[in-house]
Amino acid sequence: MNSITENLSRIKAELPKQVTLVAVSKTKPNEAIEEAYSAGHREFGENKVQEIQNKVPALPEDIHWHFIGHLQRNKVKYIAPSVHLIHGVDSLRLAVEIHKRAEQNNRVLDVLLQVHIAEESTKFGFDFDELYSLIESKELETLTGINIRGLMGMATFTEDSSQVRREFQKLKRGFDKIKTSFSNCDTLSMGMSNDYKIAIEEGSTMVRIGTDIFGGRA
Ligand SMILES: *Cc1c(COP(=O)(O)O)cnc(C)c1O
């Protein structure tokens, strides 16, 4: 198997320069993150609040921590001081809580709104109709503690690449549509180990890759 450093440099060489690579380090030990850090990597993704809380104090301060999992409102306070970008905002109530905790920390937190694009019913996120009516309601604009940077979505886990492509195209169209509503909207987080090449072809600006960098998870 290739080393983490080799995997990172191979993947980075494939990415267009406007695409940010988030190395998804969930379940992986600090040593794995340190290896990627030594190779110059700074963007890491985690999906559990407890795990990110353990890792943050043990690892270099200039790491950008991306929270990519489903975030419960009662746990926002734990990540608000340290998180760089929250990818999975999927309700107005969660956005309100992030706004509140950001203000308590004298921060403005960058967030992405998560949209449900996959066929599976288990994946979190807004439907497009919900998203557009939330934006039209202007309620998000009152939340000065959050800065809406764009959208995040996960495609169906399937071998059918044309389906994956259609789902990413849908998300890109949604992104183009909402962009005009937010002045700092520049991030489209889509693509994981098995589908990031398609995601990039369809306009992704941020890919979240775990397995292809760190190997499989137990
Ligand atoms: C785990 C995870 C990833 C990375 O998945 P890989 O298949 O290991 O690349 C990306 N995004 C989210 C939201 C995840 O939970």
Q: What is the pLDDT along the chain (218 residues), one digit of tens a residue?
A: 689 999 999 999 999 999 999 999 999 999 999 999 999 999 999 999 999 999 999 999 999 999 999 999 999 999 999 999 999 999 999 999 999 999 999 999 999 999 999 987 766 899 999 999 999 999 999 999 999 999 999 999 999 999 999 999 999 999 999 999 999 999 999 999 999 999 999 999 999 999 999 999 98
Residue 24 near ligand 1, beta carbon < 6 Å: yes
Q: Which among 27, 117, 192, 214 is the best mutation to test ligand 1's pocket, defined by most ligand atoms within 8 Å of the CB? A: 192
111 strand-pairing partners: 86, 148
Question: Number of folded domains in the chain?
Answer: 1
Cα(15)–Cα(202) distance, rounded to whole angstroms? Answer: 13
Residue 192 near ligand 1, beta carbon < 6 Å: yes
Are the CB atoms for 89 and 127 separated by under 8 Å? no
CATH of the domain at 8: 3.20.20.10
Cα(213)–Cα(114) distance, rounded to whole angstroms? Answer: 24
Domain of 38, in residue numbers? 4-214
